[in-house]
Structure 1
Amino acid sequence: MVTKIDNNIKYGKQHGGFGIQILYPGLIMPQLNDTGFFTIGRIDHARITPGTLIPMHPHRDDEILTYLRSGSVKHLDSEGHSQEISNQKLMMMNSGASYYHEERVLEEGGALEGLHIFIRPETAGLKPQVQFYQLPKVHSRNLWRKIAGKGSGYPLQIRSSTWLMDVRLEKDQQIVLPEVPSENCAFLFYVFAGKVNVHETMGLVTGESALVEDDNPVFRAVETSDIVLFITKTDAVHFDEGMYSGNLQ
């Protein structure tokens, strides 16, 4: 089954140069009684003007991936890290029991666009930690690339049964879902930018996504498209009361 999530389901926030569109993927399936989709709690698609400061603020019990496609930020946190994050340097903040950070969008990097992804951990109160990863290339063309997940082969580790991949699918190229890393998995296929057809019967444009359960659709790029793929184990133990990834109902 493939379920489309269009942009109408998102919540928009704008404050000065800071703008985000927030996706709670579980809202498309009211029967779940959960704003998240199993371990996938929330996805923020951010567009932020250069020079914007997001001041020091807390996080708790969320696994947070910062995935930029344009722009750069100076990151500071309560664990003592000071790093520049860009479209080639990714960051995973495993916030655990208590964690603070701030981000300043750098003038020289231009306008920022990226995802701030909140994943649910297996349990509450874990030790906070921060991970960084330098991508060999900005894009992976027509091949799924492992970004973050549980277990070997994923450069950034997530402390739950969740896996993230990305791909730049060039115009008229096709792709299918990768082999699942575990039993009982479902997928969220997110179009960061572009236009993609699913089975030639469903169209997805920038910001839209599809939940895939017990199906293996063919995805074709109508135009060159950047895609982020989320895989979640539907029977996995997870903590759903995180500060941002938690169930809002």
Structure 2
Amino acid sequence: MLTKIDNTLKYGKQHGGLGIQILYPGLVMPELNDTGFSTIGRIDQAHITPGTLIPMHPHRDDEILTYLRSGKVLHKDSEGYSDIISNQKLMMMNAGSTFYHEEKTLKEGDVLEGLQIFIRPETGGLQPQVQFYQLSEANSINQWRKIAGKRNDYPLQIRSNTWILDMQLQQGEETFLPEFAIENSSFLFYLFKGDIQVNTNVQLSTGESAIIENEDPIFTANETSDIVLFITQKNATYFEGGMYSGNLHK
């Protein structure tokens, strides 16, 4: 089964230099009575102008991946970390029981384009921690790259059955779901930027996505496209009371 999620399902917010498009992937399947899809709680696609400050604010019981494609941001948090995040330096904030952070886009950088991804942990009240990872290249050309997951072969660790990969698929190239996917997997294929044909009957444009279950489609790039792939399991254990990843229907 392949279920397309178009951009009309997103919620837009604009405040000063901060603009975000918010996706609650479960809304495409109202029968689930969950705004998330298993462990995947919420995905924000951000457009932030240089020099914008997002002041110190709290998070709780969310696993938060900051994934940038352009721009740079200075990060500070309640665990004492301060670092610059970019399209080659990723950050995972495992918020746990209590966590605060602020972000300021650098004036000398480009407009920030990226995702802030809220994943549900297995349980609430975990110890907060922060992880950073330096990519060797900004893009992984025509092959899946492991970003974050609940296995030691993923550079950033998520505390639930969730795995995140990315790829830049060049114009005219094809790809499939990864062969090393977890057994009994469900997928969320998120098109950060570009134009993708799925099989012969579904087209995805920038910001759109698709939930894929029990199917192995062919993805063809009509133009060079940046893709983020989420793997989860519908029977996974997760905590749905996170500040941002939690089920809004509860």
TM-score (norm 2): 0.99
The reply on whether 1:207 has 2:207 as its aligned counterpart is yes
Give the deviation of 1:109 after TM superposition. Answer: 1.1
The 2-side partners of 1:101 and 1:165 are apart by 25
Deviation of residue 183 (structure 1)? 2.3
**Aligned ranges for residues 37-52 of structure 1 at < 5 Å?**
37-52=37-52
Q: State the match for 1:166 in structure 2.
A: 166
Aligned to 1:156: 156
**Alpha-carbon distance in structure 1 between the residues aligned to 2:152 and 2:123:** 20
Root mean square deviation of aligned Cα: 0.6
Q: What letter is aligned with 1:55?
A: P
Match of 1:239 in 2: 239
Shift of 1:181: 3.9
Secondary structure of the corresponding residue to residue 108 of structure 2:
helix
Stretches of structure 2 lacking an aligned partner (at least 5 in a row)? none
Instruction: Find the counterpart in structure 1 of residue 225 from structure 2.
Output: 225
**Residue aligning to 1:3:** 3
Query: How many Å separate the matches in 1 of 2:166 and 2:186?
Result: 16
Matched, 1:107 2:107: yes
**Cα distance in 2 for residues equivalent to 1:183 and 1:30:** 25
Partner of 2:178: 178
Cα offsets for 1:154-212 (capped at 9, x unmatched): 00000000000000000010000012543221000000000000002110000000100
Q: CA deviation at 1:51?
A: 0.4
Aligned-partner Cα distance in 2 for 1:162–1:153: 13
| 1:18 matched residue in structure 2 | 18
Inter-partner Cα distance in structure 2 for 1:191 and 1:161: 22
Q: Distance in 2 between matches of 1:107 and 1:14?
A: 19
**Structure 2 residue aligned with 1:76:** 76
**Higher mean displacement: 161-170 or 177-186:** 177-186
Unmatched runs of 5 consecutive residues or more in structure 1: none
Q: Which amino acid aligns with 1:37?
A: F
* In structure 2, C-alpha distance between the alignment counterparts of 1:148 and 1:108, rounded to whole Å: 29
AA partner of residue 230 (structure 1): F
1:190 match: 190
Distance 2:227 2:26 in 1: 19
Q: Which amino acid aligns with 2:75?
A: H
TM-score (norm 1): 0.99
Summarize deviations over 1:4-56 as a string: whole Å, max 9, x none: 00000000000011000000000000010000000000000000000000000
Structure 2 distance, partners of 1:135, 1:66, is 13
